[in-house]
Structure 1
Amino acid sequence: TVAVKQVKKSSKNRLASWQSFWAELNVAQLQHDNVVRVVAASTCAPASENSLGTIIMEYV
């Protein structure tokens, strides 16, 4: 089972939105019992213009 997260962009600070998105993906490299595993991530063809991308994570 997975959880799908749409990462929304901020109209006020686009740079901060991108930095937050990439920081979240960098955290995905961590392996710990208290951190969910990222299955996939994409910035291609988001479903909404308000989205930077999608992150698919394990659902716990």
Structure 2
Amino acid sequence: MQRAVTSDLKQAGNAVYLLGETRAELGGSLLFEHLGLEGGAAPAMPREPLARYRALHQAIR
């Protein structure tokens, strides 16, 4: 492995990029836990995410 990027935020003010369509599906998320919220729908897995992940990988590189 020559290059690796960890998924954690490094410092306050780091950017967060959302890929694809967003919905009100935050049940079980770290955001809900942080805000003290419970319930809600868990995120559904998009049917064709591969192209988005490839584009993200290229952007990170």
Would you say same fold, with TM above 0.5? no
Greater relative CO, 1 or 2 (CA 8 Å, sep 6+):
1
Higher alpha-carbon Rg: 2
- TM-score class, shorter: under 0.3
User: Which structure shows the bigger proportion of residues in strand conformation?
Assistant: 1
